[in-house]
């Protein structure tokens, strides 16, 4: 099946259907790790799950819908990584946030595979951008709480610059040797610190 559907065709309500739904997503994660976005197909997924292709299509009409569900799970998880953003903003410990976020990504090959898929699909890139917009609002709210003289628009711009810069570097360094990745992260830490130093009150 083709198309750009970003939602599963049917979400399960009964236990048996829920188990099949979970099996599809768990297996899809492994397949995405092995094959990447280009090599990922619904036929291969159905075969690996041990179900018929029509059964798969009752839950997900195409591979985009499957990977969208994985992407949403990933975004839900990594958004919890910033639940302490208010504390970060209060103490200005932005470099630690950069290192911590990268460390969490690096230890999760499945998340890296999902991130790569999100960069490969225009529809998933759009989903990623929407999530970054929501995350920027959270960052901006934390910044303005501790720096009330900064406008919401300025804080949102600052937050979006930080998020887009950091996520681009995180994506870039995942396949680098550790030493090279750390060198790039140090540059990002310095950039973020310098960027905020001239924009936030002393």
Contact 169, 185 (CB under 8 A): yes
Domain that holds residue 87: 81-197
Report the pLDDT value the prediction gives residue 199, as an integer from 0 to 100: 81
pLDDT at 1 (0 to 100)? 42
Q: What share of the chain is helix, strand, coil (3-state, %, to 5)?
A: 80, 0, 20
In a domain, 100, yes or no: yes
Residue 8 lies in a domain: no
Note the pLDDT of residue 2: 44
**Per-position pLDDT tens, the chain of length 202:** 444 556 645 567 788 889 999 999 999 999 999 999 999 999 999 999 999 999 999 999 999 999 999 999 999 999 999 999 999 888 888 888 888 898 888 888 999 999 999 999 999 999 999 999 999 999 999 999 988 999 999 999 999 999 999 999 999 998 899 899 999 999 999 998 888 888 887 5
User: Do both 92 and 187 map to the same domain?
Assistant: yes
Q: Is residue 168, in this structure, part of any structural domain at all? A: yes
What residues contact 15, with CB distance under 8 A and at least 6 apart?
Answer: none
Give me the pLDDT at residue 202, please. Answer: 59
């Amino acid at each position: 099946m083709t198309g750009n559907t970003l939602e599963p065709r049917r979400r399960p309500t009964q236990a048996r259907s829920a188990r099949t739904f979970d099996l599809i997503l768990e297996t899809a994660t492994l397949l995405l790790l092995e094959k990447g976005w280009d090599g990922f197909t619904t036929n291969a997924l159905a075969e690996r799950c041990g179900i018929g292709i029509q059964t798969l299509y009752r839950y997900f009409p195409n591979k985009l819908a499957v990977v969208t569900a994985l992407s949403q799970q990933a975004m839900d998880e990594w958004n919890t990584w910033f639940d302490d953003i208010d504390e970060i903003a209060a103490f200005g410990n932005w470099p630690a946030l950069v290192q911590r976020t990268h460390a969490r990504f690096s230890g999760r090959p499945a998340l890296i595979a999902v991130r790569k898929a999100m960069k490969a699909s225009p529809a998933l890139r759009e989903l990623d951008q929407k999530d970054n917009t929501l995350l920027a609002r959270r960052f901006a709210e934390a910044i303005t709480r501790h720096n009330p003289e900064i406008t919401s628009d300025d804080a949102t711009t600052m937050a979006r610059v930080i998020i887009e810069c950091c996520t681009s570097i995180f994506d870039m360094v995942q396949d680098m040797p550790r030493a090279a990745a750390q060198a790039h992260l140090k540059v990002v830490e310095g950039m973020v610190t310098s960027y905020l130093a001239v924009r936030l009150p002393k």
